[in-house]
């Protein structure tokens, strides 16, 4: 381990030489050079470089503190782990999805009917408990009647949609003349209101994308 620099009890006047360095620069460079670090040459003051590094360190520290403060503020945002019928109605209305609320006849769990660009869809709340009932998942789905028997082409359309889209899941209702698409919003572990709104905002586009792919597949047939 190297010896520490000696303390200087009296002030020292540093003189600038013709290269733009100062005696202090040269002294510090010699100190680092003796410890195996490369000597810096050129017109740039070694002291300026050292001072710049210190200032950058302070700036990074302030930025880090600011980022920590921002993260802490985000951590304090309210989260939801479950939603009541009133909560579901509110978020659907705020998303412009025109909800009409009802209950499942057997379980009493909340059910909503909504409208996305003229397409009627259903929202079923599942994983419910408590009084009033609060539910951890929302399952949204829209079914389409084909008014004919389901064909292999319908299955190919469904598979193609599922392969190409990370949001939503298309399906065939066996034993019926319907195909559809669904979408799940999961609140398990707690999510923010912004997260719920962002997820709901994707639902109309999921429906329209599925309809477009169906129409394109049957265009001209």
> Tens digits of per-residue pLDDT, 5-51?
444 333 333 333 233 334 334 444 444 444 444 444 444 444 454 45
| Both tokens assigned to 87 | 């909560």
What does the pLDDT average to over 136-155? Answer: 95
Sign of CA dihedral 189, 190, 195, 197: positive
Which has the higher per-residue pLDDT, 72 or 221?
221
CATH architecture of 80-218: 2-Layer Sandwich (3.30)
**pLDDT at position 102:** 97
**pLDDT at position 8:** 38
Contact 100, 92 (CB under 8 A): no
Closest CA to 78 of 175, 187, 161, 179: 187
**pLDDT at position 219:** 82
Contact 99, 116 (CB under 8 A): no
What does the pLDDT look like over 196-221, one tens digit per residue? 999 999 999 999 999 999 999 888 66
C-alpha distances in Å from residue 102, one per residue of 88, 134, 219: 11, 14, 38
Q: Residue written as tokens 């782990």?
A: 81
pLDDT at 65 over 90: no
Q: At what angle do helices 193-218 and 85-94 cross, to 10 degrees?
A: 60
Percent of the chain clearing pLDDT 70 (strictly above):
65
**pLDDT at position 96:** 95
pTM exceeding 0.85? no
Partnered with residue 58 across adjacent β-strands are none
What does the pLDDT look like over 151-189, one tens digit per residue? 999 999 999 999 999 999 999 998 899 999 999 999 999
CA 86/CA 190 separation, integer angstroms = 18
């Amino acid at each position: 381990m190297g010896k520490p620099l000696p303390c200087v009890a009296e002030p020292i006047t540093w003189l600038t030489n013709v290269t733009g360095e100062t005696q202090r620069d040269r002294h510090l460079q010699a100190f680092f050079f003796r410890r195996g670090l490369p000597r810096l040459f050129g017109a740039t003051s070694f002291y300026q470089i050292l001072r710049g590094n210190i200032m950058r360190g302070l700036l990074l520290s302030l930025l880090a503190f600011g980022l920590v403060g921002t993260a802490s503020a985000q951590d304090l945002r309210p989260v939801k782990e479950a939603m009541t019928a009133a909560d579901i109605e509110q978020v659907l209305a705020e998303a412009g999805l025109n909800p009409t609320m009802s209950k499942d006849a057997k379980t009493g769990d909340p059910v909503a009917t909504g409208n996305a660009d003229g397409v009627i869809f259903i929202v079923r709340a599942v994983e419910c408990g408590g009084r009033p009932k609060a539910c951890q998942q929302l399952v949204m789905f829209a079914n389409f009647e084909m008014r004919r028997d389901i064909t292999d082409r319908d299955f190919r359309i469904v598979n193609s949609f599922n392969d190409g889209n990370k949001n939503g899941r298309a399906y065939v209702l066996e034993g019926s003349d319907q195909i559809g698409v669904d979408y799940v919003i999961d609140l398990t572990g707690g999510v923010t209101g912004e997260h719920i709104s962002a997820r709901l905002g994707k639902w109309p586009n999921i429906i329209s994308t599925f309809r477009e792919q169906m129409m394109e597949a049957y265009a001209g047939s």
